[in-house]
Amino acid sequence: MKYTNLCVSLSECVCVCVSVYLASDVSVFASLRPTQLPVSRPAPTSFKQQIHLRPWACWSYREVCSGAFWVYCYLEAVTTPPLIKECPGQSFQAWRLLRYLKSSRADADDILLEPYLQSWDQLLNFMESLGTMVSFFSQKVKEKVVLIRELSLKRAAYRSVRSMVEAELKDGVVDFSRRTDSGCRTLLRLHRSLLWLQLMLEGLAEGPDHLRSPEDAYRVALAPHHPWVLRQAAEFVFLALPDRGFFLQLVCVKTQHEAAPVLHAIIDALALVHVQTQRILAEHGMLELP
């Protein structure tokens, strides 16, 4: 008997781990059927459970030949993300952003702060590429990134979003009735800005006929939390934004057809980080910190 172990990485999301029984007279696999895994599972107790599985999807093969051998296949995505190339001569690099976003989700139920902040470094490069008027947003974001990074360098508890939240609650740093410079409050502001960028990119990915403008994205993600003066100032910022073609250049594509898969890969990565951060903040009642 022989076993062949195959591990294939399909960029951002796909890992296939296969153990195939090969015999001299056997070359047929049993049929497969997709099944949904529960979010919470007991610890692995057998060989077939020791293959790393996450609660997205699992494909299991039925018994091969004698029934003693199984093939297990795990996918987190059904398609391969596009090959995103280096864009020479510019600070924003989409492939770096995707790498940092993925790294920030290394813990299943948490967000690691350092790669999260590195993601924001790339997003700041993206924002600053849009012109000086966007500094209205980018400068405030940069201040928040710097504040959380400084906190993370001082205390090991600031390793992740969850550990930071728990540490600040324990130390009484978070105030639910008045403004403070806590890491949690600062993170919440970054969290809202991340949603704005995600929605803005969704508008670009939809194409010119179904455009959700940056202004529309702002009204959903940020405007409800800004005073009237800031909302009016934001209107002038959006008037100064470059056209769609410039946005496409930032991800090194020339046409909407080329842009769609690249933008969707970025949007999906942003959404995963946003959802997990939202969950942690909601668990501790921190979605409306003053």
Higher pLDDT among residues 154 and 190, named by residue:
190
Helix, strand, coil share of the chain (percent; to 5) = 55, 10, 35
| Biggest CA pair distance of the chain | 77
pLDDT at residue 95 tops 80? yes
Read off the pLDDT of each residue in 108-117 and give the average, rounded to a whole number: 94
Range with lowest mean pLDDT among 68-72, 117-121, 218-222, 286-290: 68-72
What the block records as the tokens of 239 is 């008037």
Q: What pLDDT score was predicted for residue 209?
A: 60
How far, in Å, CA of 196 to CA of 220, rounded? Answer: 8
Pair type for strands 32-35 and 14-22: unpaired
Q: What is the pLDDT of residues 119-138, one digit of tens each?
A: 999 999 999 988 877 877 88
Predicted pLDDT of residue 83: 67
Map out the domains of the chain with their CATH numbers: 2-74 (no CATH), 94-283 (1.10.3520.10)
The model carries a pTM of: 0.70
pLDDT tops 90 at residue 11: no
Beta bridge partners of 16: 8
DSSP per position, 70-115: --EEEBS-SSPPP-PPP-TT-S--HHHHHHHHHHHT-STT--BHHH
- What pLDDT score does 212 carry? 61
Instruction: Count the neighbouring beta carbons within 10 Å of the beta carbon of residue 18.
Output: 17
The pLDDT score that the predictor gives to residue 133 is 77
Query: What DSSP line would sit under 252-280, residue for residue?
Result: T-SSHHHHHHHHHHHHHHHHHHHHHHHHH
Measure CA 117 to chain center.
Answer: 12
Provide mean pLDDT across the span 9-25.
Answer: 34
Give the pLDDT confidence of 200-239 residue by residue, as tens digits. 999 888 876 655 677 888 888 888 898 888 888 888 888 8
Spatial CA neighbour of 102 closest among 166, 31, 9: 9
Mean pLDDT of the chain: 74
N-term to C-term CA, the chain: 65
Q: Residue 134: what pLDDT?
A: 81
pLDDT of 168 higher than 50: yes
Length of the chain: 290
Residue 15's φ and ψ, nearest 5 degrees, are: -130, 120
Compute the distance between CA of residue 232 and CA of residue 37 in angstroms, rounded to an integer: 48
User: What is the band of 94 on the pLDDT scale with cuts at 50, 70, 90?
Assistant: very high
Spatial distance between the Cα atoms of 136 and 92, rounded to a whole number of angstroms: 19
- Work out the number of other CB atoms within 10 angstroms of the CB of residue 145: 20
3: enclosing H helix or E strand: strand 2-10
Helix 113-128 with 183-206: angle, nearest 10 deg? 50
